[in-house]
């Protein structure tokens, strides 16, 4: 009996193939269904009919399942997610006048400005910009001190309190003072008396007098008070009723500062607080500083019992042609730069009672010029003196240094006594650095290592060249660099130390 031949058919083809060439998976399925043994076209049609029915049933099931997932007109819509309440974590600044731009930081804000409702103690604000985490809002007219709040999608959050500064707004159309003027204390207590948003120029020998207790809030890149062309600033408070010259916010660099560019005999700050200044550099010194004596008219002023804190740049900067007539009992701290920047011949005015610590640069910054008109006596301060220019600082008069003083020299900086004259008899200049065992005087380089500062060169015939109990943290190539032999052989006391 001949062996039966099994054949399978492609569904969409009339061409038979050997069963061994059929796809194994389908071959097994059809075998189980007993439809693989075909001997005629009739049977093949039965097979195809069965397969088509199975395919039609599967398609019907797929359509039915798909329709069940379709959002038809009768299906209830998904509910909107519950709005998340916003949160205010900080505002900056926390004080200011009407019109101040305030940055509100938090989360769950709307990035569309119009969807955020911001109020300052209940008064609606205008928004400059918005994101999900930060909003820039403007303090509105008629705003009063109170909390900042925001409402987003019906959800409200309350943040820190904003202090609205009120006072007499100075008329910047009359920013030049050409006759004697007095600013009185018009608001009781710690309330701001005047708001200044421009540069006030006192000139023409006029004197601006600021009475005890006056509080002035400044705002703006050029805002401040400037004495020039013979004008003067007299701000004398008392210990119990000081004068306060502040920014409209507590940030450093909100306003420019107080500048003396005149030699008016009544230029004076006493019992005055100067804070938040240093916004822009002086046109003359090119430096930022809260209080400056500039080179105009060889300016002069007195600064006594003042608090100069929280400013950008220097606390006080004095140019080379200016003079501090009196400087004592001041506190200069928490400024971004040095407490004081000044020139070599001005060092004698600084007092040891004032506090110079706690600034971004904790040293007195000394720039180069010659001591040639007056003798200079350096007091022991609670910060070092730092000679920042890579030059010789010439001493042509008498320089004396108090016990316990610390002098630091930048690379290439050093002292030279006397002019570089061929005849030592005509050379002048003396150095008296007499420390004690408990309070030695220290000379050192800013940078560690040998040869980073010039040392002290003697080119003077003056007998006053004492260096008792001075410790030189020496950076020269050899010990001779500390006592530089120029035209004569100096003699050191036995207890001078050169290391």
CA–CA dist 173, 181 (Å, integer): 16
CA–CA dist 351, 331 (Å, integer): 11
Reported for 2-9, long-range contacts at CB under 8 A and 24+ positions apart, including other chains, are 4/37, 6/36, 6/37, 7/38, 8/36, 9/38, 9/44, 9/47, 9/48
Q: pLDDT tens, 223-240?
A: 999 999 999 999 999 999
Same domain, yes or no: 178 and 155: no
Percentage of residues in the chain with pLDDT exceeding 70?
73
Tell me, what's the pLDDT at 427? 59
First to last CA, the chain: 123
Does 480 score more than 50 pLDDT?
no
Is residue 76 situated within a structural domain?
A: no
Q: pLDDT tens, 376-412?
A: 999 999 999 999 999 999 999 899 999 999 999 999 9
Is residue 177 situated within a structural domain?
A: yes
DSSP state of 355: B
CA–CA dist 429, 103 (Å, integer): 58
Is residue 344 situated within a structural domain?
A: no
CA–CA dist 342, 320 (Å, integer): 7
Same domain, yes or no: 274 and 371: no
Same domain, yes or no: 62 and 209: no
DSSP state of 94: S
What is the Cα Rg of the chain in Å?
42
Q: What is the average pLDDT value for the chain, to the nearest integer?
A: 81
Same domain, yes or no: 183 and 267: yes
Tell me, what's the pLDDT at 457? 81
Query: How many other C-beta atoms can be found within 10 angstroms of the C-beta atom of residue 95?
Result: 21
Give the domain range for residue 298: 168-336
Tell me, what's the pLDDT at 250? 87
Same domain, yes or no: 189 and 327: yes
Does 489 score more than 90 pLDDT?
no
Does 466 score more than 60 pLDDT?
no
Among 143, 164, 185, give the residue marking a domain's end.
164
Among 144, 164, 184, give the residue marking a domain's end.
164
Tell me, what's the pLDDT at 460? 56
Is residue 353 situated within a structural domain?
A: no
326-344 as b/e, with b when 16 or more CB fall inside 10 Å?
ebbebbbbbbbbbbbbbbb
What number is the average pLDDT over the span 5-15?
45
CA–CA dist 28, 262 (Å, integer): 110
Same domain, yes or no: 257 and 209: yes
Tell me, what's the pLDDT at 211? 97
Same domain, yes or no: 231 and 274: yes
* Three-class SS state of 82: coil
CA–CA dist 80, 498 (Å, integer): 82
Half-sphere CA count of 378, side-chain side, radius 13 A = 30
Tell me, what's the pLDDT at 220? 87
Q: pLDDT tens, 114-172?
A: 999 999 999 999 999 999 999 999 999 989 999 999 999 999 999 999 989 888 889 99
What number is the average pLDDT over the span 203-220?
96
Same domain, yes or no: 41 and 184: no
Tell me, what's the pLDDT at 296? 58
Same domain, yes or no: 63 and 100: no
Tell me, what's the pLDDT at 465? 52
Q: Beta strands 268-270 and 300-304: pairing type? A: parallel
Q: Torsions phi, psi of 442, nearest 5? A: -115, 125
Tell me, what's the pLDDT at 75? 59
Is residue 343 situated within a structural domain?
A: no
Is residue 346 situated within a structural domain?
A: no
Q: Which token pair is 274?
A: 């100067």
Q: Beta strands 257-261 and 289-293: pairing type? A: parallel
Does 9 score more than 80 pLDDT?
no
Is residue 75 situated within a structural domain?
A: no
Q: Which token pair is 437?
A: 């065992």
Proportion of the chain in helix, strand, coil states, percent, rounded to 5: 10, 35, 50
Tell me, what's the pLDDT at 317? 95
Same domain, yes or no: 283 and 322: yes
Higher pLDDT, 284 or 212: 212
Report the C-alpha dihedral over residues 223, 227, 232, 234, rounded to 10 degrees: 30
Among 16, 40, 69, give the residue marking a domain's end.
69
Same domain, yes or no: 61 and 128: no
**Cα angle vertex 450, ends 446, 451, to 5°?**
80
Is residue 351 situated within a structural domain?
A: no
Same domain, yes or no: 200 and 263: yes
What number is the average pLDDT over the span 433-458?
87
Tell me, what's the pLDDT at 30? 45
Does 57 score more than 50 pLDDT?
yes
pLDDT bin (cut points 50, 70, 90) of residue 462 is: low
Domain count, the chain: 4
Tell me, what's the pLDDT at 46? 61
DSSP state of 266: T
């Amino acid at each position: 009996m001949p062996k039966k031949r099994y054949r399978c058919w492609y569904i969409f083809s009339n061409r038979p193939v050997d069963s061994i060439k059929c796809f194994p998976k389908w071959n097994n399925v059809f075998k189980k269904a007993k439809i693989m043994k075909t001997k005629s076209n009739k049977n093949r049609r039965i097979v195809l009919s069965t397969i088509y029915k199975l395919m039609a049933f599967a398609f019907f099931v797929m359509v039915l399942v798909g329709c069940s997932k379709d959002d038809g007109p009768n299906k209830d819509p998904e509910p909107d997610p519950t709005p998340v309440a916003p949160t205010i974590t900080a505002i900056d600044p926390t004080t200011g006048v009407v019109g101040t731009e305030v940055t509100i930081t938090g989360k769950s804000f709307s990035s569309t400005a119009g969807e955020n409702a911001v109020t300052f103690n209940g008064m609606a604000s205008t928004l400059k910009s918005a994101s999900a985490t930060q909003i820039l809002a403007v303090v509105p007219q008629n705003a009063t001190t109170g909390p900042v709040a925001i409402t987003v999608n019906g959800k409200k959050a309350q943040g820190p309190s904003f202090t609205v500064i009120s006072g007499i707004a100075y008329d910047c159309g009359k920013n030049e003072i050409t006759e004697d003027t007095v600013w009185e204390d018009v608001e009781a207590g710690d309330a701001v008396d005047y708001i200044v948003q421009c540069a006030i120029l006192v000139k023409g020998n006029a004197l601006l007098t600021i009475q005890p207790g006056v509080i002035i809030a400044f705002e703006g890149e050029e805002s401040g008070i400037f004495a020039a062309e013979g004008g003067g600033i007299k701000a004398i408070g008392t210990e119990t009723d000081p004068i306060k010259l502040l920014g409209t916010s507590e940030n450093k660099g909100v306003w420019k500062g107080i500048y003396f560019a005149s030699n008016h005999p009544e230029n004076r700050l006493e019992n005055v607080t100067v804070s938040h200044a240093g916004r822009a550099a002086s046109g003359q010194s090119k430096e930022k500083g809260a209080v400056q004596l500039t080179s105009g008219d060889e300016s002069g002023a007195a600064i006594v019992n003042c608090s100069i804190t929280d400013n950008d740049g220097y606390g006080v900067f004095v140019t080379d042609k200016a003079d501090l007539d009196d400087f004592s009992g001041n506190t200069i701290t928490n400024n971004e730069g040095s407490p004081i920047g000044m020139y070599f011949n001005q060092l004698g005015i600084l007092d040891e009672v004032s506090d110079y610590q706690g600034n971004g640069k904790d040293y007195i910054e000394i720039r180069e010029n010659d001591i040639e008109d007056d003798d200079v006596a350096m007091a022991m301060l609670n910060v070092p003196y730092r000679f920042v220019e890579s030059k010789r600082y010439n001493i042509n008069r008498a320089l004396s240094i108090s016990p316990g003083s610390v002098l630091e020299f930048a690379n290439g900086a050093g002292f030279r006594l006397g002019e570089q004259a061929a005849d030592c008899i005509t050379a002048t200049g003396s150095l008296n650095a007499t420390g004690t065992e408990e309070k030695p005087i220290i000379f050192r380089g800013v940078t560690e290592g040998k040869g980073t500062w010039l040392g002290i060169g003697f080119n003077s015939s003056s007998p006053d060249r004492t260096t008792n109990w001075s410790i030189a943290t020496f950076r020269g190539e050899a010990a001779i660099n500390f006592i530089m032999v120029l035209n004569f052989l100096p003699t050191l006391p036995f207890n001078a130390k050169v290391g």
